[in-house]
Amino acid sequence: MKKRLIAVAVVAAGIAGISYANHLATKEVRAEIDKQLALVSEQTGASFKYNDLSASVISDSVEINEIQVISPEGDNIANISSIKVTGYETDNIAPRTTLAVKGFQFNKDFVTQLPADTNVMLASASYDLHSSLDYDEQSGDSDVVVQLDAKEIVSFNMALGLANSKALMDASLAINKAQQQAGDAPLTYEQELQQQTLIMQAMSKLEPRSVNLSLSNNGKLNDLLASELAKQGMTLEQMQMLLEQQLQQAPVTTEIANALNNFAQGLNSLSISAKLPEGQTMMEVNQQIMLLAGQPDALVKYINLEVKGN
């Protein structure tokens, strides 16, 4: 019996310790986030309010709930149900970092004030965003995933596989460190230029390995496309016929043309994937793609291109 009580006491103490650590972490994170939001407010004029913030030392995550974006005039611009960040570190690139934004939606009154050519369906939609970065420091390989969901309308997914990304990650850390050291003081023009140069140099070393893009109908993609075509005086059927005619003249393979036509007719889903040659930078790949622009079969083979539509 005593052993059981001891075991229970140890577990209880552990839970209490974690709760206290979470409490301290939350206080520290709240102070930092309030500081960052104040800086954004100074730069944009917009202000931010949130109902709740919590940090977990176990899952290494921070979550903010019920966020409001307020205009300089004091009007509500947008609301966000929650933002959750996992694995982020200020002085290191974690093996896995994620960002989840749920329920981002512009205020109805704000939507009515947007330019006349704004697509009301997209402007009024509720959005979920999920992104992740998986990074292997030893190999320098990175996998980036972005998933954007306009509820009941359309969703878009992108996945990138990158090699030789260590220089880019190091540059990102160096820029973050410089910004922290600057504190509230704005960066000088020279500092901003140095950061841009650092990023561009790092980007030039990246080696793309794979690309996957997909678009899915969540229910109202047809309505969205029809509304945009109507602004140009065109119907959905006319667009489908025009696309088919253009693809007959375009330098694409028959398989790709069929996939694009199938998507235009069905408007259900479209996926594009490519596996790129190893050991070549983005610039080298782009140059080769330009050389093969008029050779669709050779281009498909070079980047292992696959397109599916329905």
pLDDT digits (tens, 9 = 90+) for 9-64: 333 333 333 343 444 455 666 777 777 777 777 777 778 888 888 877 656 778 88
- 2: burial class by Cβ within 10 Å (0-12, 13-18, 19+)? exposed
| Rg value, the chain, Cα | 24
CA distance 258 to 310: 10
CA distance 226 to 189: 45
CA distance 175 to 219: 42
- 270: burial class by Cβ within 10 Å (0-12, 13-18, 19+)? buried
pLDDT in tens, 126-142: 999 999 999 999 999 99
| pLDDT of the residue at 59 | 62
| pLDDT of the residue at 162 | 92
